[in-house]
Amino acid sequence: MLAKLALGNVRKSLRDYTIYFITIAFGVCIFYTFNSIESQQVMINATESQQMALKLLGGFMDAFSVFISLVLCFLIVYANNFLIKRRKKEFGIYLILGMEKRSISWILVLETVLVGLAGLIFGIILGIVVSQGMTLVTAWMLNSEVTAYQFVFSQIATIKTVIYFGLTFLLTLIFNIITINKQQLIDLINSVRKNERFTPPHLIRSVLLFIGALGCIAVAYYLMSQGTLFNDQVISLAIIALIVLGTFVFFLSLSGFFLKLLQQCKGLYLRNLNMFILRQINSRIHTNYVSMAFVCLMISIAIAALSSGTAIAGAITAEQRDDSPFDATLSIQRTIAKGTDELAVYAPLDIPRALQSQGIDLDSLGVSWVALPLYKGPAELNIQLPDGYVSDLVPNIIRLSDYNAAAALRGEKPLTLSDGRFVLRANQPEGVWKDALVKYLEGNPTIDIGGSRLSTSLELFNTTIIETLATRTTALDVIVSDAVVDAAVQNGSILPVHRTIVDIDYGTQTKESTVVDDALAQLVNGRSIVSADGVELGFILETKNNVMQTGSSATTIISYIALYLGMVFLIAAAALLAIAQLSETSDNVSRYRLLCKIGTEERMLRHALFCQIAIYFGAPLLLACAHAFVGILALNSTLSTMKGMDLLGSSLFAALVMVIIYGGYFLATYLGSRSILDREAIRQIAVD
């Protein structure tokens, strides 16, 4: 009997349950998809390091899923509470008819289980479908190929989804039962009337609060634009506090402010239903401002996550490409403890001969290679950067001819250097570090090497990367003419070579680069060169493939986490608004009915409804866009040591996700509300 009632209720309030159901299904789908990433690797032809990356990603997803499930749990409990509140009268009638509270709780249990189970099953099915496509994306992002297509069903993800959402539904149930048991019959019966209590707005206070809110937000924006967001914890907390406070007060006072503003221009205020719309929003602002502020903050996080996540990922990929100008780089480095007599331990290292002596024949691999010795500069060569930057940087010294040989290997034009000049080279095409060097060079500095005074200027600044690097270092090099180096070595004013890099180009074998990588690794593996003072120096091999893979793994992890967080927050925000607006439309049916009675055009009514919902969805979105924009700019300036992030592209991507999810919920809300308006007001004018 109770089951029949519950089933009937669900069917009857299908409209109320639609958004609730969609939200559960979406949440489950996303949850399953991202948690199934680890299982997707069966389809991907992943290298060992990529498998590691996938495992790492799986771990991240585990950690984030706990947080995500809390967000979804909150959302589902909230949505459920809304449905319960709207049905108080129905429960009151059950009680009057003599039903026990326990039975009503049972009806609720059955209903929750019914809808939850349906949402769960539907969501997992959707998730399985989506995760198939996701595998292709993962493979693409990892620069890897999909082996043979294989249907992937992740048992772990399914079990996890069921457990997390099962717990959520359990929590919902407990909340429902508490709500029902707390209620007094009289309140349930009168709940409809009780909802419509009206408190008049204090418009002047709203205007003042609104100005205060804008002030808070402006101060926070100013602090963020100063690039202090990530540097100082106290200031970071202050910024966050100001943004949160500003956002809450903003929505508390927004409608009052605009009401006051529009009342001043009667032409607009007294046109069509404008004053009705504004009053309508204003009258419910006390119940709605908290949810609007939450929604705004959630969308801010979502936009920031979506756009900066993809931007950072893009930047990593771009940087990785720049950082691997050669197919491979073999390097040997001699590091010594401070205080040792450097001149004594460094013996000139002739790499080609050393390689030969070890029986390492690079030519046998059919590759072209160039050895680039780096001389260690003396401490006096210390480059004095402007205040506020690290200043004990002793550059390496590179012969012009060696540099040009490497440039020729890359297919670039040789560098020419007039007498008495030198070139400063750094691994930093952009960023704070580069700015410091530019400032230094603007002073047209001079250095002394081996008795010659050399000068340079900004035009000579060189940011070409001369080796394949795993991470971009802050190393500085000074390129000088061969004659100067030779003289300096002879008179002992510079230290000998302490690091040699061997840049390797695979030439025609680029296609089989991984084969050459392996051959190269095998060639140098376990080999070493003994320095003059008897220290064994091992080879360090960095290949382009390796650098790119590390980059793509990082890219994949960052992108997925951003996507995961962004989408869940977006869905949570949009669903929150949708549920609140649908129930508000139902609450306002009697007002719309009155407007119909006195002959308001249907078009005008629908327009009013549209405006209301558009304002409820639009206002948090606009403020969130502003928050996210300033936040991303701050993030950008902090992380700008990376090569310029593609903010436009990633913002477009964020906008697309936004339009699909948020726009979809907006449309669903408007259509749902319009059908309530049509059904219960326009076609039912006579009912009181």
Partner 1 sequence: MPNILQTVNIVKYYGNKGNITKALTGISFDVEKGEYIGVMGASGSGKTTLLNCISTIDSVTSGHILINGQNITEMDRRSLARFRREHLGFVFQDFNLLDTLTCFENIALALTILKIPPRQIEKRVKAIAQALNIGEILTKYPYQVSGGQKQRVACARALVTNPSLVLADEPTGALDSKSAGALLESFRHLVHTRAATILMVTHDAFAASHCDRILFIRDGKLFYQLVRATETRKQFFDRIIEVVALMGGDSDDVS
- Binding of partner 1 by 193 (CB under 8 A): no
Of these, 220, 303, 582, 596, which contacts partner 1 (CB under 8 A)?
A: 596
Cβ neighbors of 655 (< 8 A, separation 6 or more) are: none
Range list of H helices, 142-265: 155-182, 185-195, 203-225, 233-264
- Binding of partner 1 by 275 (CB under 8 A): yes
**Cβ proximity to partner 1, 285 vs 296, nearer residue:** 285
**Cβ proximity to partner 1, 392 vs 688, nearer residue:** 688
CB 197, min distance to partner 1, A: 9
- Binding of partner 1 by 600 (CB under 8 A): yes
Interface map 235-274 toward partner 1 (x if CB under 8 A): -------------------------------xxxxxxxxx
Of these, 594, 648, 656, 660, which contacts partner 1 (CB under 8 A)?
A: 594
- Binding of partner 1 by 598 (CB under 8 A): yes
| Rounded Cα distance, 361 and 472, in Å | 29
**Cβ proximity to partner 1, 279 vs 439, nearer residue:** 279
Cβ neighbors of 513 (< 8 A, separation 6 or more) are: 327, 506, 543, 544, 545
- Binding of partner 1 by 276 (CB under 8 A): yes
- Binding of partner 1 by 585 (CB under 8 A): no
Of these, 62, 196, 482, 518, which contacts partner 1 (CB under 8 A)?
A: 196
3-state SS assignment for residue 478: strand
| Rounded Cα distance, 199 and 183, in Å | 24
Listed as own residue / partner, the contacts of 272-279 with beta carbons closer than 8 Å and 24 or more positions apart are 272/604, 272/607, 272/608, 273/595, 273/600, 273/604, 273/605, 273/607, 273/608, 276/595, 276/608, 277/608, 277/611, 277/612, 277/615
- How many Cβ atoms from other residues are within 10 Å of residue 28's Cβ? 26
Q: Output the CA torsion sign for 151, 154, 159, 160.
A: negative
CB 598, min distance to partner 1, A: 6
| Rounded Cα distance, 643 and 316, in Å | 8
CB 89, min distance to partner 1, A: 19
Q: b/e map of 490-518 (b: 16 or more CB within 10 Å)? A: eeebbbbbbbbbbbbbbeeeeeeeeebbe
- Binding of partner 1 by 283 (CB under 8 A): yes
- With CA atoms as reference, report the closest residue to 414 among 432, 393, 399: 399
**Cβ proximity to partner 1, 164 vs 289, nearer residue:** 289
- Binding of partner 1 by 198 (CB under 8 A): yes
**Cβ proximity to partner 1, 104 vs 595, nearer residue:** 595
CB 588, min distance to partner 1, A: 10
Of these, 80, 282, 308, 481, which contacts partner 1 (CB under 8 A)?
A: 282
| Rounded Cα distance, 343 and 377, in Å | 11
- Binding of partner 1 by 679 (CB under 8 A): no
- In one letter, which amino acid is 217? I
- Binding of partner 1 by 194 (CB under 8 A): no
- Binding of partner 1 by 495 (CB under 8 A): no
The helix-helix angle for 285-322 and 602-638 (nearest 10°) equals 40
DSSP state of 37: G
Q: Which range binds partner 1 by CB under 8 A, 11-19, 114-122, 126-134, 592-600?
A: 592-600
CB 274, min distance to partner 1, A: 8
| Rounded Cα distance, 456 and 424, in Å | 8
**Cβ proximity to partner 1, 275 vs 470, nearer residue:** 275
Q: Output the CA torsion sign for 670, 673, 679, 684.
A: negative
DSSP state of 383: B
- Binding of partner 1 by 685 (CB under 8 A): yes
Q: Which range binds partner 1 by CB under 8 A, 6-14, 471-479, 519-527, 589-597?
A: 589-597
- With CA atoms as reference, report the closest residue to 39 among 157, 165, 207: 157
CB 288, min distance to partner 1, A: 14
- In one letter, which amino acid is 122? F
Burial, 152: exposed, middle or buried (Cβ in 10 Å; 0-12, 13-18, 19+)?
middle
Of these, 597, 618, 648, 656, which contacts partner 1 (CB under 8 A)?
A: 597
CB 191, min distance to partner 1, A: 17
- With CA atoms as reference, report the closest residue to 478 among 499, 496, 460: 460
Q: Which range binds partner 1 by CB under 8 A, 17-25, 115-123, 306-314, 590-598?
A: 590-598
Q: Output the CA torsion sign for 470, 472, 477, 481.
A: positive
**Cβ proximity to partner 1, 667 vs 687, nearer residue:** 687
CB 268, min distance to partner 1, A: 8
| Rounded Cα distance, 292 and 643, in Å | 37
- Binding of partner 1 by 448 (CB under 8 A): no
Q: Which helix (H) or strand (E) holds 388?
A: none
Report how many residues bind partner 1 under the rule CB under 8 A: 33
Of these, 200, 339, 359, 411, which contacts partner 1 (CB under 8 A)?
A: 200
Of these, 159, 347, 602, 675, which contacts partner 1 (CB under 8 A)?
A: 602
**Cβ proximity to partner 1, 57 vs 677, nearer residue:** 677
**Cβ proximity to partner 1, 276 vs 403, nearer residue:** 276
Contact footprint for partner 1 (CB under 8 A): 196, 198, 200, 266-276, 279-280, 282-283, 591, 594-602, 604, 682, 685-686, 688
